Amino acid sequence: MKKYLHLGIALTLLTLTFAGVLVYYKIKHDKVAAELSETINPEEVSPLSFDQVHQHTLNQIRLGDGVPMGMQLAVRWKIENEEDFKTQFPSVDDYYEKIIVPRCFEITSTVSNTYESVDSVFSPQRQQYLDDIKSNLYGRLGEDGISIKEVIVSNLVFPNNYTKAMEEAGMQRQELERIKQRQIADLARAEAEKEKAKADGKVAIVKAEAAGRLQEIQAKTEKSQRAIEMAKAETQNRVALLKTSNEAERNRVLASAELERQTELKNLELQRLREIDNLAIEKKKRIRLDELDTEMRFAKLCSENPTYASYLVNKELADNVQIAVLPTNATDQNVFSDLIGQRMEKMMPAFRPE
């Protein structure tokens, strides 16, 4: 009994202790919450101190060609001077609707009018147009006490008929491109089939030519084999004939060779004799030419020196004086000349004509 009694008392004390701890922390939490609520008053935080974000759509923006278009904008801006803003405008929305929206329309209209046609904005100059709109809005939309943080052009709205026409044109271009690609593929396929047909034809021709050449080679081979066999048989016949007539042919060849040798020796002897005769004739010619040259030099000397020639004649006459008895009635006037000529011939035998 005492044991259970002590256990009950212990449990009661533990329960009371736990309840006391809970009460203590609850009181402390309420006190801290009250202090915090007194320190931070939510009514003192002004919504004008946050960034303002507004979205709107501008309609009837005219391009250079007069085509209207729309634009969806999102502007993030901030009020730098809250007190001045409160004295001028009743609310943020009122300022946005009356100032920012009209100013956006004015700026975008001015920039859009510099682009000549809706076609340029739709495709080739689209990014340039968006950059111009954003840069002009960012630089010109704010004022003193109002700063523009960001401008987002979320969409360009073109006229429905123009968008439909451009979509149809795009579809037509795609269809034309598809047809063009199909034509190119068909042409390529046809060209490939044509080339394949040509190649097949060439292969067939080559095969036919190869077959023809093979048959021709086979025919030539058979002909060659027959010719070889015939040549072999003929060679055997010739060998047999040569064996039978070998001795007689050998004797005939030896006799013919001996005859040719004798004939060659005779021809050599005749040639030697002719060469000796030619040498003798050539020697006589040289001697005669030397004598003639001497006579010519002597004659030239006498013609150039008549006195010397007379001296030689007189000297020779003096050495060989001959008395000639001439008839007084002689009619031949050349007697003395003949006598002198005979004497000159003795002096110069080379002048005698042959």
pLDDT tens-digit readout, 299-322: 888 888 888 778 877 877 777 655
Residue 75 pLDDT more than 90?
A: yes
Residue 19's domain comprises 2-42
More reliable by pLDDT, 331 or 185: 185
Q: Per residue in 38-58, pLDDT tens?
A: 555 544 557 778 888 999 899
- The average confidence (pLDDT) of the chain is 80
Within-domain flag for 199: no
24 and 56 in a single domain? The answer is: no
Within-domain flag for 35: yes
37 and 67 in a single domain? The answer is: no
Residue 275 pLDDT more than 60?
A: yes
pLDDT of 350 reads 47
13 and 65 in a single domain? The answer is: no
pLDDT of 42 reads 47
| Domain CATH number, residue 144 | 3.30.479.30
Torsional sign, CA 304, 306, 311, 317: positive
Query: Residue 341: which pLDDT band, with cuts at 50, 70 and 90?
Result: low
Within-domain flag for 270: no
Q: Which of 43-47, 84-88, 167-171 has the lowest mean pLDDT?
A: 43-47
Into how many domains does the chain fold? 3
Task: Out of 111, 133, 158, pick the residue that ends a domain.
Answer: 158
Residue 238 pLDDT more than 70?
A: yes
Instruction: Find, among 156, 98, 162, the residue nearest to 131 by Cα.
Output: 156
